Amino acid sequence: MKYQKKTFSNGMKGIVAPLKETKTITLLVLVKVGSRYENANVNGVSHFIEHMMFKGTKRRPTTLEISKELDGIGAEFNAFTGKDHTGYYIKANFEKTELVFDILSDALINSQFDLTELNRERKVIEEEINMYRDNPQMHIGSLFEELVYGEKSFLGQQISGPKSVIRNVTRQQMMQFKRSFYKPKNTLVVVAGNISPTKGFNLIQNYFKFPKEAKKVPVFKKSVTKQTCPQIKLEFRKTEQAQLCIGFPAYSYFHKDVDALALLNIILGGNMSSRLFINIRERQGLCYLVRSSANIYEDVGNMVVQAGLDRKRVKQATRAILKVVQDVKQNGVTDEELTKSKDFLRGKLTIEMEDSESIAGWYGAQQLLKNQTLTIEEKFKSIQKVTLNDIKRVANDIFKTQLINLVIIGPFSKSSEFTPLLKV
């Protein structure tokens, strides 16, 4: 799949990925900032700023005017905040490309951060925090990274921040933070869909004219894993179903074995024919939900298994999950499993790349976080090189007793009753 990229005179980068067979256009703007860049007194401000970007500009004074204009062309639009980047996108009919550029650039550059709207949004974000905390299946992932990286570390703190910050952070603090990070050199604009590279780059240059700032963009503090023994975190709740996460520190984007990690994750718990799904759910009937995932950052990463199950079966499930992990570590995986994991990943990526939104995200995330842009074909070639020995080496490197992290949300309060279970 062809694409072109360009660095503009102000330092901003752009990518144009033409897709002639589609009738849509996706405009995605990524800013390299998230919760790991925040000090504790402003934790949650990146997410708060994201919320304020569609609340009104000089030309479009209210959020209603922005949404009516986008709804008027049947556009899809949203924004998201992570620990290491923030994104804004609009997907629409390609015939409305210039309007899409006009609206999104106006929102990102000219948002007013009206104080009345800002104070109203505090309550909205508090309700969002409540929603996530009241859903153990969603909340447990945050607790897991708190345990792995430290609750008071930059990478371990919550993306949404605590309510105390959301209630008290000032407009001045928000605008100062925005000026520090929303700069051309820290911004990537991606356009994918029915558009030529020439037109795409011209539109990026004409519409995204961020104010120039002489100061350098702050960098995040790198995380270092210093774990020497198993760790347990319990959040007591009187529930019938418990949620648990069992995981290990893993690799960064730049580690040589990151592709092997991705394939190991698929084999372990990445789909409905994975070892965990077949063993824990289908054969033993211990749970409805069981899956694994690899979470990767620029400096560190982790691999985690999540399950939701009857509170009376938590210990049994913990033993069973770790037994599956131990078997992969000791005996490796089969040639058939490795081949199927490669085919699965290839199939998933191929399906995703038929959509302009996914294409924009594929190129954008790579460029922003890794400073590279592999095509799907180049990624496939890299994945194809992974061997059985690579998988076994990665499993032995990651799956160690002293690196186990266990998090449970449910009616449990004594960590000591789970400690003897933690071994691989």
Question: Quick one: pLDDT band at residue 225, thresholds 50, 70, 90?
Answer: confident
Question: Quick one: pLDDT band at residue 397, thresholds 50, 70, 90?
Answer: very high
Cα angle: 121, vertex 111, 366; to 5 degrees: 95
Could you tell me the two tokens for 323? 């037994």
Distance of CA 236 to the CA centre of its chain: 27
Q: What is the DSSP letter of 60?
A: S
SS3 category, 290 = strand
pLDDT(212) > 90? no
CA count, 13 A, side-chain hemisphere, 323: 9
Residue pointed to by tokens 């922003």: 368
Question: What are the structural domains, with CATH classification, of the chain?
Answer: 4-207 (3.30.830.10), 231-421 (3.30.830.10)
d(CA 80, CA 172): 22
Could you tell me the two tokens for 84? 């290491």
Q: Residue type for 167, please?
A: R
Q: What are phi and psi of 345, to 5 degrees?
A: -65, -40
Question: Which pLDDT value is given to residue 2?
Answer: 84
Question: Quick one: pLDDT band at residue 111, thresholds 50, 70, 90?
Answer: very high
Mean residue pLDDT of the chain comes to: 96
d(CA 281, CA 212): 55
Please check whether residue 286 is in contact with residue 313, taking contact to mean a CB–CB distance below 8 angstroms: yes
Rg (CA), the chain: 23
Question: Which pLDDT value is given to residue 214?
Answer: 67
Share of the chain above pLDDT 90, in %: 95
Q: What is the DSSP string of 233-246?
A: EEEE---SEEEEEE
Question: Which pLDDT value is given to residue 60?
Answer: 96
Across 239-253, average pLDDT: 96
Residue pointed to by tokens 């609206």: 103
Could you tell me the two tokens for 111? 């948002």
State the sign of the Cα–Cα–Cα–Cα dihedral 143, 148, 153, 159.
Answer: negative
SS3 category, 277 = helix
Distance of CA 129 to the CA centre of its chain: 17
Question: Which pLDDT value is given to residue 202?
Answer: 98
pLDDT(1) > 70? no
Helix (H) or strand (E) holding 174: helix 171-181
d(CA 11, CA 91): 25
Question: Quick one: pLDDT band at residue 215, thresholds 50, 70, 90?
Answer: confident
Please check whether residue 231 is in contact with residue 147, taking contact to mean a CB–CB distance below 8 angstroms: yes
Please check whether residue 407 is in contact with residue 321, taking contact to mean a CB–CB distance below 8 angstroms: no
Please check whether residue 332 is in contact with residue 388, taking contact to mean a CB–CB distance below 8 angstroms: yes
Q: pTM of the entire structure?
A: 0.95
N-term to C-term CA, the chain: 42
Q: What is the DSSP string of 307-330?
A: EEEEGGGHHHHHHHHHHHHHHHHH
